[in-house]
Chain A
Amino acid sequence: GIQVEQSPPDLILQEGANSTLRCNFSDSVNNLQWFHQNPWGQLINLFYIPSGTKQNGRLSATTVATERYSLLYISSSQTTDSGVYFCAVVVRGSTLGRLYFGRGTQLTVWP
């Protein structure tokens, strides 16, 4: 099956710093989503981004489908950004839309 690799596995930042999270995938995809899992376990949809670039406030994401990677940028990080960030993809040709998840990046932002 498709491999989804996220890096770094852990990231510790001071409030106000910027960061880049990376997601590499091993096959062509129909869909790529970035999620933030908060301390209570809820997965929050950040971006649906199978290709191109999107921005939402301090967050932005870029997916280069031809090179099979996606980047999530967090600018001016805040303590509320702490949590686990997951990348997940749907393999091209999927009929049910099964998501394959990476292992996540654990982000800790200190005040």
Chain B
Amino acid sequence: GAVVSQHPSRVICKSGTSVKIECRSLDFQATTMFWYRQFPKQSLMLMATSNEGSKATYEQGVEKDKFLINHASLTLSTLTVTSAHPEDSSFYICSASSRETSGSSYEQFFGPGTRLTVL
């Protein structure tokens, strides 16, 4: 149980285009979803936290208009990188947690990640 999927796993796009990444909880309803970014040989950096039906909470320094997050249902969150540029190239990872699976413990389960390359 507690499986999280991400799509696509890899995307290459031209500078200036927008890219949408989907994160789905497959076998549970995710109360909260998180989006992270990871650079090579570094730890995960939280970008934003989203609850179903409400606006995402962005971490300091993360541009809301650049990284649009939509948590439209209890099983789906999307991250859209708008007008992508080469510096947005990175590994993006989502995670999900739910009181169904972990009560108040906030155990998080992670998707496999999306590798974005902007040319």
Please give the residue numbers on chain A whose beta carbons come within 8 Å of chain B beta carbons, in ascending order. Answer: 30-31, 33, 35, 40-43, 45, 48, 50, 86, 88, 90, 94, 96-99, 101-104
Contacts and interface: CB of A to CB of B under 8 A. Distances in A.
Given A31-B107, A42-B110, A48-B107, A96 B32 contact: yes
Nearest to B91: A41
B44 A33 contact: no
A102 B34 CA distance: 17
Interface residues of B, number: 26
Interface centre among A42, A50, A97, A99 (most CB of B within 10 A): A97
B61 to A, nearest CB: 14
6 contacts: A41-B113, A45-B2, A88-B108, A94-B106, A98-B34, A101-B43
A66 B114 CA distance: 38
Interface string B76-100: 0000000000000001010101000
B46 interface: yes
Contact of B108 (A30, A41, A99): A99
A32 B35 CA distance: 19
Interface of B: 2, 32, 34, 38, 42-44, 46, 49, 51, 57, 91, 93, 95, 97, 102, 104-110, 112-113, 115
Contacts of A41: 38, 91, 93, 112-113, 115
A41 B37 CA distance: 12
Contacts of B91: 41
A98 B105 contact: no
Contacts of B110: 35, 42-43, 45
Given A43-B95, A88-B108, 18 more contacts: A30-B104, A30-B105, A31-B107, A41-B38, A41-B113, A41-B115, A42-B113, A45-B109, A45-B110, A48-B102, A86-B43, A86-B44, A90-B106, A94-B106, A97-B106, A97-B108, A99-B46, A103-B43
B114 to A, nearest CB: 9
Contact of A31 (B43, B51, B105, B112): B105
Contacts of A40: 112-113
Contacts of A48: 102, 105, 107
